[in-house]
Amino acid sequence: MTSPEDVSAQLELARQQSIAVWDASAPGWHAWREQLWQSSQPVSEWMIRKLDPQPGDALLELAAGPADTGFCRPFGDRRKPTLKSDSRKCSEGCQALATRC
């Protein structure tokens, strides 16, 4: 049976490997950001309209990629809710990308 310490160590190793992959991928996300947005924009804007987020709401954007849906684009002049994205916790490369809105 695997000890709790071994499970924790395995999870930490997996997290560190994931962060390394996201850091390596961030420049590619940035290079293709506009093309990705052109294809995903209709869905992103539909999601925001359907959610109708209000100030004080907290939204978690999973698999955020360059974080365009949650942090950058579809809100325009709308009231922007508090947003949380897994990309902000993922890696420094993804954090930098998410803040280049």
pLDDT in tens, 19-71: 898 889 888 888 888 898 888 888 888 888 888 877 777 777 776 666 676 66
- What distance in Å separates the CA atoms of residue 68 and residue 1, rounded to the nearest whole number? 43
State the maximum Cα–Cα separation within the chain, in Å, rounded to a whole number: 55
Which of 11-15, 16-20, 84-88 has the lowest average pLDDT? Answer: 84-88
pLDDT tens sequence across 63-99: 666 667 666 665 555 555 555 555 445 677 766 766 6
Half-sphere exposure of 63 (CA within 13 A, CB side): 1
Does this model's pTM top 0.85?
A: no
CB 82 within 8 A of CB 13: no
